[in-house]
């Protein structure tokens, strides 16, 4: 049997590794629009912050050789012909498959794509982006930057560049940064702490409306309030959309069933996949690394053994790179709130019918593993949750309470 992967990212690498560990000895071809060995996008901000590049290759730089894979790199797949079971690439090549693993992830969405033609304007999504930003910073002696977009990846970008020593202005249209992973009050607390502790200049209710260039190079950006700020570097990170066009003809994602099958011979996983939420059963793209891993493992197991089912995705968010006050959240911010706050620590759960419906923990997140398991357990916690939030012990204590480790 011949297996082809569309993408060489986190989901595809996990899928291939699992297949080989299961004992699959058929032909595997991995295709990517980029030129690298499988890398972890979660780790690329560390590279930009100054860590060696090799740290991004989370399964080893020699992945293709070690797992007996033929790699077709730097040539995007532009079409999947499910009837003929083949993929076509931009360079005019085609590759037939018995099973396709479609995991092309997502790409940055740009309000003004033409800005990227100006030197000094970059996205923040891929290793290709990081290599280009790193080179630009070094060649131009860049000391300051504007980051447009205060979502998870925008904040990740701002923190990495700040860690590298740049002066950062973070521009966000909402009333708080990280608005998708926080509620109003918690998000405002997190925004204040972020500014206080990192020195990042955060401009809320603001967007970047224009850029000023000089000889093809960025010299300044214009904000929605009319202010103009001189800067040699602009990072645009205001959203992503799934790379589903080659398979589906649109960017709405690829629906995977419980076996992660999108079609009898096509598996899908990761940031391109539409799955059900493990608790709410709502369909959506749940674009985090743990979901991608579980989906890839489900697909590999099903391909090799013909059994197994995906339990569903969880919308967890964990921000902890380059800051000493991590932020963790999951679920929905609706229901009765129970909040505990002291100094730099802020914790809130949302209860619905006595069960955790969502939570947000800022500052000291050692408790978050326990809260996560309570959330998944669907147990009533209304009588105990106040004490748990107010008197958190170390995570291992809670794990022992759950029977996960010996007491
Ligand atoms: C900066 C950053 C930080 C992140 N931090 C975290 C974090 O802390 N925690 C967390 O849980 N998640 C984080 N994520 C998200 C996490 O990286 C993704 O959920 C995960 O990588 C999904 O795996 P994937 O394989 O679906 O996508 P990716 O790992 O993005 O891989 C997609 C692959 O498809 C390839 N591809 C795309 N289009 C084509 C095409 N047309 N033809 C061929 N190949 C194609 C790409 O080159 C790539 O190889 C972060 C993401 C970014 C960008």
- The residue whose CB lies within 8 Å of the most ligand 1 atoms, and thus the one to mutate among 18, 37, 42, is 42
pLDDT value, residue 390: 87
Upper half-sphere CA count for residue 292 (Cβ side, 13 Å): 23
Kindly give the parts of the chain with pLDDT less than 50: 406-407
211 lines ligand 1 (CB under 6 A): no
The CATH architecture one would assign to domain 110-236 is 3-Layer(bba) Sandwich (3.50)
pLDDT value, residue 402: 60
147 lines ligand 1 (CB under 6 A): no
DSSP H or E segment with residue 246 = helix 245-248
123 lines ligand 1 (CB under 6 A): no
Which pair of structure tokens corresponds to residue 86? 């083949």
Question: Any bridge partners for residue 319, and if so which?
Answer: 327
DSSP H or E segment with residue 105 = none
Fold of the domain built from segment(s) 2-107+241-305: FAD/NAD(P)-binding domain (3.50.50)
User: Maximum Cα–Cα distance for the chain, whole Å?
Assistant: 66
Q: Could you tell me which of 386, 303, 275 has the C-alpha nearest to residue 340?
A: 386
pLDDT value, residue 245: 98
The string of pLDDT tens digits covering residues 204-260 is 999 999 999 999 999 999 999 999 999 999 999 999 999 999 999 999 999 999 999
Helix intervals (H) in 252-323 = 289-305
DSSP one-letter code for 119? B
Q: Show contacts of 341-345: CB within 8 Å, 24+ apart.
A: 341/189, 344/193
Q: How far apart (Å, rounded) are the C-alpha atoms in residues 15 and 29? A: 12
105 lines ligand 1 (CB under 6 A): yes
Upper half-sphere CA count for residue 81 (Cβ side, 13 Å): 11
Same fold, 2-107+241-305 and 110-236: yes
pLDDT value, residue 366: 85
127 lines ligand 1 (CB under 6 A): no
The string of pLDDT tens digits covering residues 333-369 is 999 999 999 999 999 999 999 999 999 999 988 889 8
125 lines ligand 1 (CB under 6 A): yes
CA of 230 to the centre of ligand 1 (A): 32
Q: Distance of CA 269 to CAs 168, 193, 310, Å?
A: 35, 35, 11
41 lines ligand 1 (CB under 6 A): yes
* Nearest Cα residue to atom 5 of ligand 1: 42
Q: Could you tell me which of 186, 126, 176, 168 has the C-alpha nearest to residue 151?
A: 176
CA of 9 to the centre of ligand 1 (A): 6
Q: Could you tell me which of 64, 8, 61, 66 has the C-alpha nearest to residue 34?
A: 8
CA of 105 to the centre of ligand 1 (A): 5
* Nearest Cα residue to atom 30 of ligand 1: 105
Q: Could you tell me which of 248, 241, 287 has the C-alpha nearest to residue 266?
A: 248
Task: Give the 3-state secondary structure of residue 130.
Answer: helix
DSSP H or E segment with residue 243 = none
CA dihedral sign, ordered 195, 181, 405, 353: positive
Which pair of structure tokens corresponds to residue 190? 């997190």
11 lines ligand 1 (CB under 6 A): yes
pLDDT value, residue 391: 76
Q: How far apart (Å, rounded) are the C-alpha atoms in residues 392 and 272? A: 37
* Nearest Cα residue to atom 35 of ligand 1: 7
pLDDT value, residue 406: 44
In ligand 1, the atom with minimum distance to the C-alpha of 246 is 41
CA dihedral sign, ordered 74, 11, 97, 21: positive
Could you tell me the residue ranges of all domains in the chain?
2-107+241-305, 110-236, 325-401
* Nearest Cα residue to atom 3 of ligand 1: 42
CA of 214 to the centre of ligand 1 (A): 33
CATH of domain 325-401: 3.30.390.30
Residue 388 CB contacts under 8 Å (≥ 6 apart), including other chains: 367, 370, 371, 381
pLDDT value, residue 398: 62
Task: Give the 3-state secondary structure of residue 152.
Answer: helix
Q: How far apart (Å, rounded) are the C-alpha atoms in residues 157 and 46? A: 10
Q: How far apart (Å, rounded) are the C-alpha atoms in residues 379 and 383? A: 11
Q: How are beta strands 86-89 and 273-276 bridged, if at all?
A: unpaired
């Amino acid at each position: 049997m011949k297996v082809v992967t569309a993408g060489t990212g986190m989901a595809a690498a996990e899928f291939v590794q699992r297949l080989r560990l299961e004992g699959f000895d058929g032909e595997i071809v991995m295709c990517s629009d980029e030129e690298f060995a499988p890398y972890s996008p979660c780790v690329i901000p560390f590279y930009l912050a100054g860590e060696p590049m090799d740290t991004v290759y989370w399964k080893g730089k020699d992945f293709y050789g070690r797992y007996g894979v033929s790699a077709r790199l730097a040539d995007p797949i532009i079409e999947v012909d499910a009837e003929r079971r083949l993929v076509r690439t931009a360079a005019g090549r085609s590759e037939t498959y018995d099973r396709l693993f479609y995991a092309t992830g997502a790409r940055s969405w740009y309000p003004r794509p033409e800005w990227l033609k100006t030197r000094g304007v970059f996205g923040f999504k891929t290793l290709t982006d990081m290599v280009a930003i790193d080179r630009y910073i070094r060649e131009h002696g860049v000391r300051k930057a504007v980051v447009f977009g205060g979502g998870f990846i925008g904040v990740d970008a701002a923190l990495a560049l700040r860690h590298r020593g740049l002066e950062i202005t973070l521009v966000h249209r909402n009333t708080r940064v990280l608005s998708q992973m926080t509620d109003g009050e918690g998000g405002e607390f997190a925004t204040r702490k972020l500014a206080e502790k990192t020195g990042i200049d955060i401009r809320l209710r603001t967007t970047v409306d224009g850029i000023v260039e000089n000889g093809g190079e960025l010299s300044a950006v214009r904000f929605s309030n009319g202010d103009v700020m001189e800067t040699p570097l602009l990072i645009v990170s205001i959203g992503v959309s799934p790379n589903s066009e080659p398979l589906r003809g649109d960017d709405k994602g690829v629906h995977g069933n419980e076996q992660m099958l999108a079609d009898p011979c096509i598996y899908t996983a990761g940031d391109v996949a539409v799955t059900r939420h493990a608790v709410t059963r709502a369909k959506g793209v749940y674009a985090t690394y743990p979901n991608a891993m579980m989906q890839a493992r489900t697909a590999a197991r099903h391909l090799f053994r013909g059994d197994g089912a995906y339990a569903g995705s969880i919308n967890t968010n964990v921000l902890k790179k380059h800051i000493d006050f991590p932020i963790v959240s999951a679920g929905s911010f609706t229901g009765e709130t129970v909040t505990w706050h002291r100094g730099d620590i802020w914790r809130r759960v949302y209860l619905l019918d006595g069960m955790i419906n969502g939570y947000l923990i800022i500052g000291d997140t050692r408790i978050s593993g326990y809260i996560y398991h309570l959330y998944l357990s669907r147990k009533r916690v209304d009588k105990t949750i106040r004490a748990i939030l107010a008197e958190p012990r170390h995570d291992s204590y809670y794990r022992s309470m759950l029977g996960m480790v010996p007491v």
